[in-house]
Amino acid sequence: MQTDLWNYCLKAYALPGIEHACLRLQSQGLDVCLLLCAAWLEHRNVACDEARLESLRALAEPWQRDVVQPLRALRTQWREAATHDDALSALRGQIKGLELEAERTLLRRLESATREWLPTRSQNGCDWLQRMADSVDHPDYDALQTLRAAINHA
């Protein structure tokens, strides 16, 4: 079992169907870093409660809003033009690298915030993924199930 969040995420994201599921959930307004953190916490059998969920959201939301999303928006905005402009394509690649590093920084912060949250002996923990997905109306159930299936394989 991967113990650190970043390596867990890399392994999970590489599993069949996970990238597509995450992108579908992201398009609905969900934070993929929070979802992957939720999967990691569920995999580790860490109990959740509303206070923990809110602390993770409070940590992630400003970083997503102020750092990750502006980088993603710029990269997306340049997609079409970069297909015809090599210099812009190279800059777009650098933006993508910055976006990935920003997400990695967020995952490090999420891991640090959960460092003291130990696994429970009980199997009656909450459904971290569902609780994270409850922040949007009608989250993509199939995408959530794909992500859930990967929890124990990463």
Query: DSSP H helical segments within 1-153, as ranges?
Result: 5-14, 18-27, 32-43, 50-63, 69-77, 79-82, 86-113, 128-133, 141-150
The pTM for the full model equals 0.90
Task: Express each pLDDT in 9-62 by its tens digit.
Answer: 999 999 999 999 999 999 999 999 999 999 999 988 899 999 999 999 999 999
Q: Where are the domains of the chain?
A: 5-150
